[in-house]
Amino acid sequence: MPSLVLGASYVGFGSLVRESGIGLGLGLFSTLSAWALPGQVVLVELYGVGASLLVICLAVALTNARLMPMVITLMPLVHDPAVPRWRYYLYSHLVAVTAWAFSMRRCPDMPRPLRLPYFLGFAASLWIASLLGTALGFLLADSVPRSITLGLVFLNPIYFMLIFATDLRHRARAMALAFGAVLGPFFHTISHDWGLMFAGLIAGTVAFGGERLLRRRHV
């Protein structure tokens, strides 16, 4: 199911690539090298409006900065002392939202030697599905209504939210989702450019602080 949803999301990205006048080869290279759908959408949209290379690089870097804390939290969890350290610099490239979310949920219950193979196998299957989705969306762009193919891009964030919604045993996670749902629309009306970032920052911080406070009170 994660591969199907992510692949369908990349069908929308492939259609967006073709709509922007970018070739299939560059679209596939984007998925192969970057593999972060929000950053890739930003890249294609800015390229389509003629933004400079510096602006595109900065925008993509800021969009994908969210992957850094994912790497920091996941790599120690899947670390195997028998694996050379330099390989983890390569493995970290496979850290993306869906692979990270599933690995963070399942790896703690696995023996340590099985965690890294699970993450690599799961992430690789998602990566392949993303490449296939990119190619399929590019080829089907003329035969499927534009609103449908581009709308598929939003499947992945919705699916990601549902992943966390089904695992609300973690109190901090539930609080972060609740605060984010309330603060998101409010901050969006204040600033379309920065509202989402401020909502996420405040909601996550309040949830983290609230969880620590409740633990101290043994609640």
Shared domain for 145 and 62, answered yes or no, is: yes
Shared domain for 40 and 85, answered yes or no, is: yes
Please tell me the distance from the alpha carbon of residue 91 to that of residue 53, in angstroms, as a whole number. Answer: 27
Residue that terminates a domain, selected from 117, 152, 187: 152
Shared domain for 118 and 41, answered yes or no, is: yes
* Domain carrying residue 116: 1-152
Shared domain for 12 and 86, answered yes or no, is: yes
Residue that the structure tokens 């219950």 belong to:
109
Scanning the chain, the segments in alpha helix (DSSP H) are 2-19, 24-33, 37-48, 53-64, 67-78, 87-91, 97-106, 112-139, 146-151, 155-165, 171-190, 195-216
Query: What does the block give as tokens for 129?
Result: 């599905």
Helix, strand, or coil (residue 149): helix
Shared domain for 214 and 177, answered yes or no, is: yes
Shared domain for 42 and 103, answered yes or no, is: yes
- pLDDT tens per residue across span 45-98: 888 888 899 999 998 988 888 899 899 999 999 999 889 999 999 999 899 888
Q: Is residue 163 part of a domain?
A: no
Q: Is residue 134 part of a domain?
A: yes
| Domain total in the chain | 2
Three-state SS for 201-214 is: HHHHHHHHHHHHHH
Shared domain for 40 and 146, answered yes or no, is: yes
Residue that the structure tokens 């602006």 belong to:
55
Mean per-residue pLDDT, 165-189: 81
Q: Is residue 160 part of a domain?
A: no
- pLDDT tens per residue across span 99-146: 998 898 899 999 999 999 999 999 999 999 999 999 998 998 877 777
**Side-chain-facing half-sphere of 49: CA atoms under 13 Å:** 8
Shared domain for 79 and 177, answered yes or no, is: no
Shared domain for 48 and 137, answered yes or no, is: yes
Q: Is residue 159 part of a domain?
A: no
Q: Is residue 158 part of a domain?
A: no
- pLDDT tens per residue across span 4-49: 888 888 988 898 898 888 899 999 999 998 888 888 988 998 888 8
pTM, rounded to two decimals:
0.77
